Amino acid sequence: MDSLKDSILFLLGLGIFGGMAGAWFFQKIRFPQVVGYIAIGLIIGQAGFGIINANDIAELKTFNLFALGIIGFLVGGELEIETFKKYGRQFAAILFAEGLLSCLLVGVTSFIIINFVTHNTAASLAGAVVLGSIASATDPASTIDVIWEYRSKGVMTTAIIAIVALDDALAMTLYGLGSGVAELLTSDSGSIKDSIVRISIELGGALILGAIVALILVLIFKWLVQAEKAVAISIGLIMMVISASAFYGMDIILATMMMGFVLINFSPRRSKDLFKLMRTFSIPIYVMFFVLVGARLTFGVMPSWLWGIIIAYVICRSAGKFFGAYFGAKITNSPPVVRKYLGLGLFAQGGVAIGLSIMAAERLSGIMVVDGMSLGDMIIFVVTTTTLVVQVLGPAMVKLAVKLSKEAGRDITEEDVRASMTVENVIDDELITISDGASITEAVNYFTENNVLIIPVVDRENNIAGILNFDNLKDILSERDNWQWMLVADIMQEMKDSTTSDINLDAIYKKMYRLNIDQMPVVDNENKNKPVGMLDMRTIRLKVHAELLRQGA
Protein backbone atom coordinates (compact mmCIF):
# COMPACT_ATOMS: atom_id res chain seq x y z
CA MET A 1 0.00 0.00 0.00
CA ASP A 2 1.23 3.52 -0.80
CA SER A 3 -0.08 5.10 2.41
CA LEU A 4 -1.78 4.20 5.66
CA LYS A 5 -5.17 5.41 4.44
CA ASP A 6 -5.07 2.78 1.68
CA SER A 7 -5.57 0.13 4.38
CA ILE A 8 -9.21 -0.95 4.75
CA LEU A 9 -8.50 -1.89 8.38
CA PHE A 10 -7.23 1.65 9.06
CA LEU A 11 -10.34 3.17 7.46
CA LEU A 12 -12.64 0.90 9.45
CA GLY A 13 -10.78 1.73 12.65
CA LEU A 14 -10.85 5.45 11.90
CA GLY A 15 -14.54 5.31 11.05
CA ILE A 16 -15.56 3.43 14.19
CA PHE A 17 -13.35 5.44 16.57
CA GLY A 18 -14.24 8.73 14.93
CA GLY A 19 -17.94 7.81 14.81
CA MET A 20 -18.00 7.07 18.54
CA ALA A 21 -16.22 10.37 19.24
CA GLY A 22 -18.74 12.19 17.06
CA ALA A 23 -21.62 10.45 18.83
CA TRP A 24 -20.23 11.54 22.22
CA PHE A 25 -19.96 15.17 21.08
CA PHE A 26 -23.44 15.32 19.57
CA GLN A 27 -24.99 13.67 22.61
CA LYS A 28 -23.40 16.41 24.71
CA ILE A 29 -25.24 19.02 22.65
CA ARG A 30 -28.44 16.96 22.90
CA PHE A 31 -28.48 15.51 19.38
CA PRO A 32 -29.02 11.78 18.72
CA GLN A 33 -25.75 9.87 18.37
CA VAL A 34 -26.46 8.82 14.78
CA VAL A 35 -26.04 12.46 13.69
CA GLY A 36 -22.50 12.29 15.09
CA TYR A 37 -21.72 9.19 13.01
CA ILE A 38 -22.86 10.89 9.80
CA ALA A 39 -21.04 14.14 10.67
CA ILE A 40 -17.74 12.28 11.05
CA GLY A 41 -18.40 10.58 7.71
CA LEU A 42 -18.86 13.99 6.08
CA ILE A 43 -15.60 15.24 7.59
CA ILE A 44 -13.44 12.29 6.50
CA GLY A 45 -15.40 11.51 3.32
CA GLN A 46 -15.78 12.92 -0.16
CA ALA A 47 -17.36 16.17 0.99
CA GLY A 48 -14.57 16.74 3.55
CA PHE A 49 -10.90 15.73 3.68
CA GLY A 50 -11.33 12.80 1.29
CA ILE A 51 -9.68 10.25 3.57
CA ILE A 52 -12.43 7.85 2.50
CA ASN A 53 -12.89 8.23 -1.26
CA ALA A 54 -15.20 6.71 -3.86
CA ASN A 55 -12.90 3.72 -4.42
CA ASP A 56 -12.86 2.94 -0.68
CA ILE A 57 -16.65 3.11 -0.55
CA ALA A 58 -16.85 0.75 -3.52
CA GLU A 59 -14.48 -1.70 -1.81
CA LEU A 60 -16.57 -1.52 1.35
CA LYS A 61 -19.80 -2.35 -0.51
CA THR A 62 -19.78 -5.86 0.99
CA PHE A 63 -19.55 -4.36 4.48
CA ASN A 64 -22.56 -2.16 3.72
CA LEU A 65 -24.56 -5.18 2.60
CA PHE A 66 -23.61 -6.99 5.81
CA ALA A 67 -24.64 -3.96 7.87
CA LEU A 68 -28.01 -3.77 6.10
CA GLY A 69 -28.53 -7.48 6.80
CA ILE A 70 -27.78 -7.08 10.52
CA ILE A 71 -30.06 -4.03 10.69
CA GLY A 72 -32.89 -5.94 9.01
CA PHE A 73 -32.43 -8.93 11.33
CA LEU A 74 -32.59 -6.79 14.47
CA VAL A 75 -35.59 -4.81 13.21
CA GLY A 76 -37.40 -8.09 12.52
CA GLY A 77 -36.65 -9.16 16.09
CA GLU A 78 -38.71 -6.19 17.32
CA LEU A 79 -41.88 -7.36 15.54
CA GLU A 80 -44.16 -9.78 17.34
CA ILE A 81 -47.22 -11.48 15.88
CA GLU A 82 -49.35 -10.46 18.86
CA THR A 83 -48.60 -6.82 18.09
CA PHE A 84 -49.78 -7.22 14.49
CA LYS A 85 -52.91 -9.06 15.62
CA LYS A 86 -53.73 -6.14 17.88
CA TYR A 87 -52.66 -3.23 15.67
CA GLY A 88 -52.41 -4.76 12.18
CA ARG A 89 -55.31 -2.80 10.67
CA GLN A 90 -53.97 0.45 12.10
CA PHE A 91 -50.44 -0.23 10.86
CA ALA A 92 -51.66 -1.02 7.33
CA ALA A 93 -53.73 2.16 7.10
CA ILE A 94 -50.90 4.34 8.45
CA LEU A 95 -48.34 2.68 6.17
CA PHE A 96 -50.30 3.28 2.97
CA ALA A 97 -51.43 6.77 4.00
CA GLU A 98 -47.99 8.13 4.85
CA GLY A 99 -46.21 6.30 2.01
CA LEU A 100 -48.64 7.21 -0.75
CA LEU A 101 -49.15 10.81 0.41
CA SER A 102 -45.37 11.37 0.48
CA CYS A 103 -45.09 9.83 -2.97
CA LEU A 104 -47.92 11.98 -4.35
CA LEU A 105 -46.77 15.31 -2.89
CA VAL A 106 -43.13 14.87 -3.91
CA GLY A 107 -44.13 13.56 -7.35
CA VAL A 108 -46.48 16.45 -8.15
CA THR A 109 -44.13 19.23 -7.00
CA SER A 110 -41.12 17.60 -8.71
CA PHE A 111 -43.06 17.36 -11.99
CA ILE A 112 -44.04 21.03 -11.85
CA ILE A 113 -40.46 22.22 -11.23
CA ILE A 114 -38.75 19.88 -13.72
CA ASN A 115 -41.29 20.59 -16.44
CA PHE A 116 -40.99 24.36 -15.87
CA VAL A 117 -37.21 24.12 -16.41
CA THR A 118 -36.99 21.49 -19.15
CA HIS A 119 -40.33 21.77 -20.99
CA ASN A 120 -40.02 18.01 -21.51
CA THR A 121 -43.24 16.47 -20.23
CA ALA A 122 -42.19 12.83 -20.61
CA ALA A 123 -38.83 13.25 -18.84
CA SER A 124 -40.44 15.44 -16.17
CA LEU A 125 -43.12 12.86 -15.47
CA ALA A 126 -40.54 10.05 -15.40
CA GLY A 127 -38.34 11.92 -12.91
CA ALA A 128 -41.33 12.86 -10.78
CA VAL A 129 -42.59 9.26 -10.61
CA VAL A 130 -39.17 7.93 -9.54
CA LEU A 131 -38.54 10.70 -6.97
CA GLY A 132 -42.05 10.23 -5.55
CA SER A 133 -41.59 6.49 -5.12
CA ILE A 134 -38.18 6.95 -3.44
CA ALA A 135 -39.68 9.57 -1.09
CA SER A 136 -41.94 6.92 0.43
CA ALA A 137 -38.93 5.10 1.96
CA THR A 138 -38.08 5.57 5.64
CA ASP A 139 -34.67 4.68 7.02
CA PRO A 140 -35.13 1.91 9.64
CA ALA A 141 -31.50 1.99 10.82
CA SER A 142 -31.24 5.53 12.19
CA THR A 143 -34.82 5.45 13.48
CA ILE A 144 -34.32 2.24 15.44
CA ASP A 145 -30.93 3.48 16.67
CA VAL A 146 -32.59 6.51 18.28
CA ILE A 147 -35.33 4.36 19.81
CA TRP A 148 -32.71 2.08 21.38
CA GLU A 149 -30.58 5.05 22.48
CA TYR A 150 -33.48 6.60 24.39
CA ARG A 151 -34.87 3.27 25.65
CA SER A 152 -38.30 4.03 24.24
CA LYS A 153 -41.23 1.70 24.76
CA GLY A 154 -44.97 2.03 24.23
CA VAL A 155 -47.73 1.94 21.62
CA MET A 156 -46.30 4.88 19.63
CA THR A 157 -42.81 3.34 19.64
CA THR A 158 -44.25 0.01 18.52
CA ALA A 159 -46.04 1.77 15.66
CA ILE A 160 -42.81 3.49 14.52
CA ILE A 161 -40.89 0.20 14.49
CA ALA A 162 -43.62 -1.57 12.53
CA ILE A 163 -44.02 1.23 9.97
CA VAL A 164 -40.30 1.72 9.25
CA ALA A 165 -39.92 -2.04 8.90
CA LEU A 166 -42.76 -2.30 6.37
CA ASP A 167 -41.91 0.97 4.59
CA ASP A 168 -39.02 -0.78 2.86
CA ALA A 169 -41.40 -3.18 1.09
CA LEU A 170 -43.79 -0.37 0.14
CA ALA A 171 -40.95 1.78 -1.24
CA MET A 172 -39.57 -1.12 -3.25
CA THR A 173 -43.03 -1.77 -4.71
CA LEU A 174 -43.63 1.87 -5.63
CA TYR A 175 -40.13 2.19 -7.04
CA GLY A 176 -40.49 -0.94 -9.15
CA LEU A 177 -43.74 0.32 -10.65
CA GLY A 178 -42.46 3.88 -10.91
CA SER A 179 -39.22 2.97 -12.68
CA GLY A 180 -41.20 0.82 -15.10
CA VAL A 181 -43.48 3.76 -15.87
CA ALA A 182 -40.43 6.03 -16.28
CA GLU A 183 -38.89 3.69 -18.86
CA LEU A 184 -42.17 3.46 -20.75
CA LEU A 185 -42.43 7.26 -20.85
CA THR A 186 -38.87 7.88 -22.02
CA SER A 187 -38.11 4.90 -24.27
CA ASP A 188 -39.58 1.88 -25.98
CA SER A 189 -38.16 -0.52 -23.41
CA GLY A 190 -39.72 -1.68 -20.18
CA SER A 191 -43.24 -2.63 -19.24
CA ILE A 192 -45.48 -2.65 -16.21
CA LYS A 193 -45.72 -6.44 -16.45
CA ASP A 194 -41.94 -6.79 -16.25
CA SER A 195 -41.90 -4.45 -13.26
CA ILE A 196 -44.53 -6.51 -11.43
CA VAL A 197 -42.56 -9.71 -12.06
CA ARG A 198 -39.37 -8.06 -10.83
CA ILE A 199 -41.09 -6.75 -7.70
CA SER A 200 -42.53 -10.19 -6.96
CA ILE A 201 -39.04 -11.69 -7.09
CA GLU A 202 -37.47 -8.91 -5.05
CA LEU A 203 -40.08 -8.92 -2.29
CA GLY A 204 -41.70 -12.37 -2.37
CA GLY A 205 -38.41 -14.16 -2.85
CA ALA A 206 -36.85 -12.23 0.01
CA LEU A 207 -39.70 -13.14 2.37
CA ILE A 208 -39.59 -16.84 1.43
CA LEU A 209 -35.80 -17.05 1.72
CA GLY A 210 -35.76 -15.32 5.09
CA ALA A 211 -38.55 -17.50 6.47
CA ILE A 212 -36.94 -20.78 5.35
CA VAL A 213 -33.54 -19.92 6.83
CA ALA A 214 -35.18 -18.72 10.06
CA LEU A 215 -37.07 -22.02 10.43
CA ILE A 216 -33.75 -23.87 10.02
CA LEU A 217 -32.34 -21.68 12.79
CA VAL A 218 -35.36 -22.48 15.00
CA LEU A 219 -34.64 -26.21 14.58
CA ILE A 220 -30.97 -25.66 15.43
CA PHE A 221 -31.97 -23.76 18.58
CA LYS A 222 -33.83 -26.83 19.87
CA TRP A 223 -30.54 -28.55 20.68
CA LEU A 224 -28.18 -25.55 20.88
CA VAL A 225 -28.02 -24.14 24.41
CA GLN A 226 -25.18 -21.59 24.45
CA ALA A 227 -26.24 -18.14 23.24
CA GLU A 228 -22.68 -17.31 22.10
CA LYS A 229 -22.67 -20.22 19.65
CA ALA A 230 -26.16 -19.24 18.50
CA VAL A 231 -24.80 -15.79 17.60
CA ALA A 232 -22.02 -17.33 15.49
CA ILE A 233 -24.43 -19.64 13.65
CA SER A 234 -26.95 -16.81 13.13
CA ILE A 235 -24.30 -14.50 11.66
CA GLY A 236 -23.18 -17.26 9.30
CA LEU A 237 -26.73 -17.80 8.06
CA ILE A 238 -27.36 -14.05 7.79
CA MET A 239 -24.27 -13.76 5.58
CA MET A 240 -25.54 -16.52 3.30
CA VAL A 241 -28.98 -14.89 3.09
CA ILE A 242 -27.37 -11.55 2.21
CA SER A 243 -25.28 -13.18 -0.51
CA ALA A 244 -28.22 -15.07 -2.00
CA SER A 245 -30.42 -11.96 -1.90
CA ALA A 246 -27.80 -9.82 -3.62
CA PHE A 247 -27.13 -12.48 -6.26
CA TYR A 248 -30.79 -13.00 -7.16
CA GLY A 249 -31.73 -9.32 -6.92
CA MET A 250 -33.88 -9.68 -3.79
CA ASP A 251 -34.30 -7.09 -1.04
CA ILE A 252 -31.63 -7.75 1.63
CA ILE A 253 -33.30 -5.86 4.47
CA LEU A 254 -36.63 -7.60 3.88
CA ALA A 255 -35.02 -11.07 3.76
CA THR A 256 -33.08 -10.66 7.01
CA MET A 257 -35.98 -8.85 8.63
CA MET A 258 -38.12 -11.90 7.91
CA MET A 259 -35.44 -14.04 9.58
CA GLY A 260 -35.65 -11.97 12.75
CA PHE A 261 -39.46 -11.88 12.66
CA VAL A 262 -39.83 -15.66 12.35
CA LEU A 263 -37.18 -16.30 14.99
CA ILE A 264 -38.66 -14.02 17.66
CA ASN A 265 -42.15 -15.46 17.12
CA PHE A 266 -41.35 -19.17 16.72
CA SER A 267 -38.60 -19.36 19.33
CA PRO A 268 -39.11 -16.36 21.64
CA ARG A 269 -37.49 -17.79 24.76
CA ARG A 270 -34.31 -19.04 23.11
CA SER A 271 -33.89 -16.06 20.79
CA LYS A 272 -34.15 -13.44 23.57
CA ASP A 273 -30.50 -13.79 24.59
CA LEU A 274 -29.47 -14.04 20.93
CA PHE A 275 -30.96 -10.65 20.03
CA LYS A 276 -29.46 -9.09 23.16
CA LEU A 277 -25.97 -10.29 22.18
CA MET A 278 -26.52 -9.32 18.54
CA ARG A 279 -27.36 -5.74 19.53
CA THR A 280 -24.07 -5.52 21.42
CA PHE A 281 -22.19 -7.06 18.51
CA SER A 282 -23.85 -4.68 16.04
CA ILE A 283 -22.71 -1.41 17.65
CA PRO A 284 -19.47 -0.98 15.63
CA ILE A 285 -21.32 -2.14 12.50
CA TYR A 286 -23.99 0.54 13.00
CA VAL A 287 -21.32 3.17 13.63
CA MET A 288 -19.34 2.37 10.47
CA PHE A 289 -22.48 2.05 8.35
CA PHE A 290 -23.57 5.61 9.14
CA VAL A 291 -20.03 6.95 8.84
CA LEU A 292 -20.04 5.56 5.29
CA VAL A 293 -23.47 7.16 4.68
CA GLY A 294 -21.89 10.51 5.48
CA ALA A 295 -18.68 9.72 3.58
CA ARG A 296 -20.46 9.01 0.30
CA LEU A 297 -22.38 12.30 0.31
CA THR A 298 -20.98 14.79 -2.20
CA PHE A 299 -22.03 18.26 -3.19
CA GLY A 300 -21.03 19.21 -6.69
CA VAL A 301 -21.96 22.39 -8.51
CA MET A 302 -25.72 22.17 -8.82
CA PRO A 303 -27.96 24.55 -10.77
CA SER A 304 -30.30 26.72 -8.69
CA TRP A 305 -33.43 24.99 -10.01
CA LEU A 306 -32.14 21.69 -8.61
CA TRP A 307 -32.02 23.28 -5.16
CA GLY A 308 -35.68 24.13 -5.68
CA ILE A 309 -36.47 20.44 -6.16
CA ILE A 310 -34.40 19.56 -3.09
CA ILE A 311 -36.24 22.06 -0.87
CA ALA A 312 -39.63 21.00 -2.24
CA TYR A 313 -38.71 17.32 -1.81
CA VAL A 314 -37.81 17.76 1.89
CA ILE A 315 -40.91 19.85 2.67
CA CYS A 316 -43.38 17.70 0.74
CA ARG A 317 -41.94 14.39 1.93
CA SER A 318 -41.99 15.55 5.57
CA ALA A 319 -45.55 16.85 5.20
CA GLY A 320 -46.63 13.59 3.54
CA LYS A 321 -45.13 11.48 6.31
CA PHE A 322 -46.58 13.60 9.12
CA PHE A 323 -50.11 14.19 7.79
CA GLY A 324 -50.35 10.76 6.18
CA ALA A 325 -49.54 9.09 9.49
CA TYR A 326 -52.04 11.36 11.25
CA PHE A 327 -54.91 10.61 8.85
CA GLY A 328 -54.11 6.89 8.77
CA ALA A 329 -54.14 6.77 12.56
CA LYS A 330 -57.29 8.85 12.80
CA ILE A 331 -59.44 6.77 10.43
CA THR A 332 -58.51 3.60 12.34
CA ASN A 333 -59.13 5.18 15.77
CA SER A 334 -55.54 4.69 16.86
CA PRO A 335 -54.56 6.00 20.32
CA PRO A 336 -54.15 9.80 20.50
CA VAL A 337 -50.42 9.48 21.16
CA VAL A 338 -50.00 7.66 17.83
CA ARG A 339 -52.01 10.26 15.94
CA LYS A 340 -50.08 13.18 17.41
CA TYR A 341 -46.50 12.00 17.32
CA LEU A 342 -46.03 9.03 14.97
CA GLY A 343 -45.45 11.21 11.91
CA LEU A 344 -42.49 12.91 13.62
CA GLY A 345 -40.72 9.56 13.79
CA LEU A 346 -40.85 8.86 10.04
CA PHE A 347 -38.70 11.65 8.60
CA ALA A 348 -35.37 9.77 8.33
CA GLN A 349 -34.19 8.73 4.88
CA GLY A 350 -31.11 6.59 4.33
CA GLY A 351 -29.57 3.58 2.69
CA VAL A 352 -32.71 2.28 0.96
CA ALA A 353 -33.40 5.63 -0.72
CA ILE A 354 -29.78 6.03 -1.84
CA GLY A 355 -29.75 2.46 -3.14
CA LEU A 356 -32.92 3.04 -5.14
CA SER A 357 -31.53 6.30 -6.54
CA ILE A 358 -28.38 4.49 -7.71
CA MET A 359 -30.53 1.87 -9.44
CA ALA A 360 -32.60 4.63 -11.04
CA ALA A 361 -29.48 6.44 -12.20
CA GLU A 362 -28.25 3.33 -13.99
CA ARG A 363 -31.59 2.80 -15.74
CA LEU A 364 -32.20 6.46 -16.66
CA SER A 365 -28.64 7.65 -17.38
CA GLY A 366 -29.28 8.03 -21.10
CA ILE A 367 -32.17 10.48 -20.72
CA MET A 368 -31.01 14.12 -20.75
CA VAL A 369 -33.04 16.76 -18.93
CA VAL A 370 -30.70 19.72 -19.60
CA ASP A 371 -27.29 20.06 -21.22
CA GLY A 372 -24.72 18.12 -19.23
CA MET A 373 -27.20 16.46 -16.85
CA SER A 374 -29.09 13.22 -17.29
CA LEU A 375 -32.27 12.26 -15.50
CA GLY A 376 -30.26 9.69 -13.55
CA ASP A 377 -27.71 12.32 -12.41
CA MET A 378 -30.51 14.61 -11.30
CA ILE A 379 -32.12 11.88 -9.19
CA ILE A 380 -28.76 11.04 -7.56
CA PHE A 381 -28.12 14.71 -6.70
CA VAL A 382 -31.60 15.22 -5.23
CA VAL A 383 -31.74 12.02 -3.18
CA THR A 384 -28.15 12.34 -1.89
CA THR A 385 -28.61 15.93 -0.74
CA THR A 386 -32.05 15.38 0.77
CA THR A 387 -30.72 12.32 2.58
CA LEU A 388 -28.16 14.48 4.34
CA VAL A 389 -30.82 17.00 5.36
CA VAL A 390 -33.35 14.50 6.65
CA GLN A 391 -30.69 12.29 8.29
CA VAL A 392 -29.90 15.29 10.48
CA LEU A 393 -33.56 16.24 10.89
CA GLY A 394 -34.99 12.70 11.14
CA PRO A 395 -33.23 11.36 14.27
CA ALA A 396 -33.91 14.64 16.09
CA MET A 397 -37.61 14.26 15.24
CA VAL A 398 -37.65 10.65 16.46
CA LYS A 399 -36.15 11.86 19.72
CA LEU A 400 -38.83 14.58 19.94
CA ALA A 401 -41.57 12.02 19.23
CA VAL A 402 -40.53 9.62 21.99
CA LYS A 403 -40.04 12.51 24.43
CA LEU A 404 -43.43 14.12 23.72
CA SER A 405 -45.20 10.76 23.89
CA LYS A 406 -43.51 10.14 27.26
CA GLU A 407 -42.26 6.76 26.03
CA ALA A 408 -38.54 7.56 26.33
CA GLY A 409 -36.81 5.65 29.13
CA ARG A 410 -39.59 3.08 29.52
CA ASP A 411 -37.70 0.19 27.93
CA ILE A 412 -35.78 -0.41 31.14
CA THR A 413 -33.85 -3.54 32.06
CA GLU A 414 -33.01 -5.18 35.38
CA GLU A 415 -29.53 -3.67 35.11
CA ASP A 416 -31.05 -0.18 34.74
CA VAL A 417 -33.14 -0.72 37.88
CA ARG A 418 -30.19 -2.04 39.89
CA ALA A 419 -28.07 0.92 38.75
CA SER A 420 -30.71 3.30 40.15
CA MET A 421 -30.73 1.62 43.57
CA THR A 422 -28.34 1.23 46.49
CA VAL A 423 -27.78 -1.67 48.88
CA GLU A 424 -29.97 0.15 51.39
CA ASN A 425 -33.02 -0.41 49.15
CA VAL A 426 -32.80 -4.21 49.37
CA ILE A 427 -30.97 -4.88 52.65
CA ASP A 428 -32.42 -7.41 55.08
CA ASP A 429 -31.93 -5.55 58.37
CA GLU A 430 -33.24 -8.45 60.50
CA LEU A 431 -29.67 -9.52 61.05
CA ILE A 432 -28.85 -12.95 62.46
CA THR A 433 -25.43 -13.22 64.11
CA ILE A 434 -23.67 -15.79 66.24
CA SER A 435 -21.11 -15.35 69.00
CA ASP A 436 -17.57 -16.55 68.45
CA GLY A 437 -17.90 -18.38 71.78
CA ALA A 438 -20.96 -20.39 70.69
CA SER A 439 -20.66 -24.17 70.34
CA ILE A 440 -20.86 -26.04 67.02
CA THR A 441 -24.21 -27.48 68.15
CA GLU A 442 -25.58 -23.95 68.44
CA ALA A 443 -24.15 -23.11 65.01
CA VAL A 444 -25.82 -26.13 63.40
CA ASN A 445 -29.13 -25.12 64.99
CA TYR A 446 -28.71 -21.57 63.59
CA PHE A 447 -28.40 -22.91 60.06
CA THR A 448 -31.30 -25.35 60.36
CA GLU A 449 -33.68 -22.84 61.97
CA ASN A 450 -32.89 -19.85 59.73
CA ASN A 451 -32.93 -19.50 55.96
CA VAL A 452 -29.33 -18.32 55.68
CA LEU A 453 -26.15 -19.46 54.00
CA ILE A 454 -23.75 -17.13 55.82
CA ILE A 455 -23.78 -16.02 59.45
CA PRO A 456 -21.60 -13.14 60.67
CA VAL A 457 -19.65 -14.11 63.80
CA VAL A 458 -19.40 -11.35 66.42
CA ASP A 459 -17.25 -10.90 69.52
CA ARG A 460 -18.28 -9.61 72.95
CA GLU A 461 -18.36 -5.98 71.67
CA ASN A 462 -20.68 -7.06 68.84
CA ASN A 463 -17.99 -6.38 66.26
CA ILE A 464 -17.49 -8.78 63.38
CA ALA A 465 -14.89 -11.39 64.21
CA GLY A 466 -15.37 -13.50 61.09
CA ILE A 467 -17.83 -15.40 58.90
CA LEU A 468 -19.40 -18.81 59.31
CA ASN A 469 -20.90 -20.59 56.35
CA PHE A 470 -22.13 -24.09 55.67
CA ASP A 471 -18.84 -25.10 54.04
CA ASN A 472 -17.09 -24.49 57.38
CA LEU A 473 -19.32 -27.12 58.99
CA LYS A 474 -19.04 -29.81 56.32
CA ASP A 475 -15.66 -31.10 57.48
CA ILE A 476 -16.87 -31.79 61.03
CA LEU A 477 -20.44 -32.94 60.40
CA SER A 478 -19.41 -36.56 60.91
CA GLU A 479 -17.61 -35.73 64.20
CA ARG A 480 -20.76 -35.20 66.24
CA ASP A 481 -19.04 -36.06 69.54
CA ASN A 482 -16.83 -32.97 69.17
CA TRP A 483 -19.66 -30.50 68.64
CA GLN A 484 -20.14 -29.69 72.32
CA TRP A 485 -16.57 -28.68 73.12
CA MET A 486 -15.62 -27.08 69.75
CA LEU A 487 -16.42 -23.37 69.36
CA VAL A 488 -17.46 -21.28 66.36
CA ALA A 489 -14.17 -19.39 66.71
CA ASP A 490 -12.35 -22.65 65.89
CA ILE A 491 -13.88 -23.05 62.42
CA MET A 492 -14.93 -19.54 61.36
CA GLN A 493 -13.05 -17.80 58.56
CA GLU A 494 -11.93 -14.24 58.02
CA MET A 495 -14.51 -11.92 56.48
CA LYS A 496 -13.08 -10.98 53.08
CA ASP A 497 -16.17 -9.56 51.36
CA SER A 498 -18.70 -7.12 52.77
CA THR A 499 -20.51 -3.98 51.67
CA THR A 500 -22.08 -0.85 53.08
CA SER A 501 -25.63 0.38 52.55
CA ASP A 502 -24.63 3.33 50.36
CA ILE A 503 -22.94 1.25 47.64
CA ASN A 504 -24.55 1.08 44.19
CA LEU A 505 -26.63 -2.10 43.97
CA ASP A 506 -25.63 -3.01 40.42
CA ALA A 507 -21.91 -2.83 41.27
CA ILE A 508 -22.25 -5.09 44.31
CA TYR A 509 -24.62 -7.46 42.46
CA LYS A 510 -22.02 -7.96 39.72
CA LYS A 511 -19.34 -8.53 42.36
CA MET A 512 -21.44 -11.19 44.10
CA TYR A 513 -22.17 -12.82 40.73
CA ARG A 514 -18.47 -12.82 39.85
CA LEU A 515 -17.52 -14.33 43.23
CA ASN A 516 -20.40 -16.85 43.00
CA ILE A 517 -21.79 -15.98 46.44
CA ASP A 518 -25.48 -15.69 47.31
CA GLN A 519 -25.21 -13.63 50.50
CA MET A 520 -22.94 -10.87 51.75
CA PRO A 521 -22.79 -9.07 55.13
CA VAL A 522 -23.64 -5.37 55.20
CA VAL A 523 -21.62 -3.29 57.66
CA ASP A 524 -22.10 0.19 59.07
CA ASN A 525 -21.02 3.05 56.78
CA GLU A 526 -18.76 4.52 59.48
CA ASN A 527 -17.79 1.49 61.57
CA LYS A 528 -16.83 -1.29 59.17
CA ASN A 529 -16.65 -3.78 62.06
CA LYS A 530 -20.33 -3.40 62.98
CA PRO A 531 -22.78 -5.62 61.05
CA VAL A 532 -26.14 -3.99 60.19
CA GLY A 533 -27.76 -6.47 57.80
CA MET A 534 -27.41 -9.09 55.12
CA LEU A 535 -27.55 -8.79 51.33
CA ASP A 536 -29.23 -11.73 49.62
CA MET A 537 -29.22 -12.46 45.86
CA ARG A 538 -32.77 -13.79 45.93
CA THR A 539 -34.05 -10.69 47.72
CA ILE A 540 -32.24 -8.46 45.21
CA ARG A 541 -33.91 -10.20 42.27
CA LEU A 542 -37.38 -10.09 43.86
CA LYS A 543 -37.18 -6.38 44.68
CA VAL A 544 -35.67 -5.48 41.32
CA HIS A 545 -38.44 -7.39 39.50
CA ALA A 546 -41.06 -5.59 41.58
CA GLU A 547 -39.53 -2.20 40.75
CA LEU A 548 -39.27 -3.16 37.09
CA LEU A 549 -42.99 -3.96 36.99
CA ARG A 550 -43.83 -0.73 38.81
CA GLN A 551 -41.85 1.46 36.41
CA GLY A 552 -43.18 -0.38 33.35
CA ALA A 553 -46.78 -0.08 34.45
All structural domains of the chain: 63-281+305-387 (1.20.1530.20), 417-552 (3.10.580.10)
Flag whether pLDDT at 391 surpasses 70.
Answer: yes
- Residue bearing the bigger pLDDT, 476 or 274: 274
Quickly state the pLDDT bin for 109 (edges 50, 70, 90): very high
H or E element that contains 423: none
pLDDT score at 485: 66
Flag whether pLDDT at 107 surpasses 50.
Answer: yes
pLDDT score at 385: 80
Residue range 196-242, pLDDT digits in tens: 677 677 778 888 999 999 999 888 887 766 767 888 888 999 999 99
Quick check: 169 and 202 in contact, CB under 8 A?
no
Highest mean pLDDT out of 76-80, 120-124, 335-339, 353-357: 335-339
Quick check: 155 and 117 in contact, CB under 8 A?
no
Instruction: Work out the mean pLDDT of the chain and round it to a whole number.
Output: 80
Quickly state the pLDDT bin for 537 (edges 50, 70, 90): confident
Question: What number is the average pLDDT over the span 128-142?
Answer: 84
Measure the CA angle with vertex 348, ends 31 and 209; round to 5°: 125
Flag whether pLDDT at 287 surpasses 60.
Answer: yes
d(CA 164, CA 154): 16
DSSP state of 139: -
Flag whether pLDDT at 409 surpasses 50.
Answer: yes
Flag whether pLDDT at 167 surpasses 60.
Answer: yes
pLDDT score at 133: 86
Query: Closest Cα partner for 74 from 219, 303, 313, 261?
Result: 261
pLDDT score at 185: 67
Query: Closest Cα partner for 165 from 277, 89, 256?
Result: 256
pLDDT score at 322: 93
H or E element that contains 422: none
How many CB atoms neighbour CB 279 within 10 A? Answer: 14
Residue range 452-489, pLDDT digits in tens: 777 888 887 778 888 777 666 666 666 666 666 677 77
pLDDT score at 179: 67
Give the range among 180-184, 240-244, 256-260 with minimum mean pLDDT: 180-184
pLDDT score at 365: 64
Phi, psi of 406 (to 5 degrees): 60, 30
Quick one: CA torsion of 420, 424, 425, 429, rounded to 10 degrees?
160
Flag whether pLDDT at 553 surpasses 50.
Answer: no
Q: Is 188 left (phi over 0), alpha (psi -120 to 50) or beta?
A: alpha
Beta bridge partners of 536: 519
From residue 123, alpha-carbon distances to 7, 137, 320, 352, 374 in Å are 43, 22, 24, 23, 10
H or E element that contains 53: none
Quick check: 175 and 107 in contact, CB under 8 A?
no
pLDDT score at 191: 57
Question: What number is the average pLDDT over the span 96-116?
Answer: 91
Q: Return the percentage of the chain with pLDDT > 90, whole number.
A: 10
Around 243, how many Cα atoms within 13 Å sit in the side-chain half-sphere?
A: 7
pLDDT score at 212: 93
Residue range 489-510, pLDDT digits in tens: 777 777 777 888 888 888 888 8
Quick check: 416 and 545 in contact, CB under 8 A?
no
- List of long-range contacts for 167-170, beta carbons under 8 Å, 24+ apart: 167/95, 167/99, 167/136, 167/137, 167/138, 167/140, 167/346, 168/137, 168/140, 168/251, 168/253, 168/254, 168/257, 168/352, 169/203, 169/251, 169/254, 170/95, 170/96, 170/99, 170/136
From residue 65, alpha-carbon distances to 71, 289, 363, 379 in Å are 10, 9, 21, 22
Q: For the chain, what is the largest distance between any 2 Cα atoms, rounded to a whole number of angstroms?
A: 110
Highest mean pLDDT out of 226-230, 300-304, 519-523: 519-523
Question: What number is the average pLDDT over the span 497-524?
Answer: 83
H or E element that contains 529: none
